[in-house]
């Protein structure tokens, strides 16, 4: 799709979101409705006309450009693409670094990779549409801000498998660490309220992550937060029950 066509598509989306009809645009621009329809069907907007419509909608042309940019970004890879990455540990490391907005120099100085090998890995990620490798080995991310690995996919399973052996096998006694384990009994309503709070906490973590992307790598630290909530009691307790708790949530 050409850039002009993508802009028109974004403009149509703005009209729909704001419940604005072609007739409304025609009135605002002192044109006939047929003329406005022809503008959209032929995608024959002058820059001045495009600016007039944007002004009517209360947006800037730059907002349309950003919509186009976001629509081109991917939110996840396919299972097959994830398998290709997980089967090559250096490639996974480079992918994770790129997603955290590391530069070519950051990756090269941190990990035991040759410049040639790093370029080859970045070229693979370029082919997978995760990044665009620009001249001068600059890295442009092609993923949405809300990009995530496939749920229960190869990469998510990889990280989950090392949680017990690496993440939790630790004292959590450094200033950067925090571990809490709380046990209680909640009603269905309270359970759902707490789940929403966990979602909000995850959103706040993501917001801070994005905010800190502008800082140099040396001022940021790899940080992971794991939250898990389920109906549960120790097996030793369960075995002492007179009858198994078969209630459904």
Find the CATH number of the domain harbouring 40: 1.10.260.40
pLDDT tens column, 35-90: 999 988 888 788 888 889 999 999 898 888 877 766 556 788 999 999 999 999 99
Query: In the predicted model, what is the mean pLDDT of residues 131-135?
Result: 95
CA-to-CA dists, residue 155 to 13, 78, 101, angstroms: 34, 11, 19
Among residues 148, 169, 190, which one ends one of the domains?
A: 169
Say whether both 92 and 127 belong to one domain: yes
Same domain, 136 and 101: yes
Q: Which domain holds residue 32?
A: 3-71
* Tally of domains in the chain: 3
Which pLDDT score, from 0 to 100, does residue 95 have?
97
Do residues 97 and 178 both lie within one domain?
no
Long-range contacts from 44-47, C-beta under 8 angstroms, 24+ separation: 45/4, 45/7, 45/8
Over range 21-38, report the average pLDDT: 92
pLDDT for res 8:
83
Residues 125 and 46 in one domain: no
Q: Clarify whether residues 164 and 106 are in a common domain.
A: yes
Q: At what angle do helices 89-99 and 115-127 cross, to 10 degrees?
A: 70
**Euclidean distance between CA atoms 117 and 121, whole angstroms:** 6
Q: What is the chain's mean pLDDT, rounded?
A: 91
168: helix, strand or coil: coil
Distance, CA of 195 to CA of 234 (rounded, Å): 21
> Whole-model pTM?
0.69
The last residue of one of the domains, among 71, 91, 116, is: 71
- Looking at the structure, do residues 149 and 180 belong to the same domain, yes or no? no
Share above pLDDT 70 across residues of the chain, in percent, rounded to a whole number: 97
State whether 191 and 249 are in the same domain: yes
Distance CA 48, CA 46 (A): 5
Residues 14 and 40 both lie in one domain: yes
Closest by CA to 123, choosing from 150, 94, 143, is 94
Query: Of the residues 30, 51, 71, which one is the last residue of a structural domain?
Result: 71
Q: Looking at 1-5, 12-16, 218-222, which range is the least confident one?
A: 1-5
**Mean pLDDT in residue range 99-119:** 97
Residues 210 and 160 in one domain: no
**What is the tens place of the pLDDT at every residue in 189-238?**
999 999 999 999 999 999 999 999 999 999 999 999 999 999 999 899 99
């Amino acid at each position: 799709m050409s850039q002009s066509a993508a802009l028109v598509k974004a403009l149509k989306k703005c009209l729909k979101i704001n419940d604005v009809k072609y007739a409304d645009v025609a009135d605002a621009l002192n044109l006939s409705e047929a003329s406005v329809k022809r503008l959209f069907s032929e995608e024959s907007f002058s820059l001045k006309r495009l600016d007039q419509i944007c002004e009517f909608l209360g947006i800037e042309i730059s907002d349309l450009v950003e919509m186009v940019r976001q629509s081109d970004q991917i939110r996840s890879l396919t299972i097959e693409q994830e398998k290709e990455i997980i089967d090559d540990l250096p490639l996974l490391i480079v992918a994770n670094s790129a997603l955290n907005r590391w530069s070519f120099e950051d990756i090269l100085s941190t990990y035991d990779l040759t410049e040639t090998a790093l370029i080859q890995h970045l070229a693979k990620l370029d082919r997978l549409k995760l990044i665009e490798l620009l001249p001068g080995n600059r890295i442009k991310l092609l993923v949405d801000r809300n990009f995530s690995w496939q749920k229960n996919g190869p990469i998510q399973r990889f990280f989950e498998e090392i949680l017990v052996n690496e993440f939790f096998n630790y004292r959590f006694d450094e200033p950067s660490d925090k571990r809490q384990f709380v046990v209680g009994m909640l009603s269905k309503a309270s359970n759902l309220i707490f789940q929403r709070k966990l979602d909000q906490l995850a959103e706040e973590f993501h917001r801070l992550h994005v905010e800190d992307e502008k800082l140099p790598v040396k001022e940021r630290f790899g940080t992971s937060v794991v939250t898990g909530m389920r109906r549960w009691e120790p097996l030793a307790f369960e075995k002492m029950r007179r009858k198994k708790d078969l209630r459904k949530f």
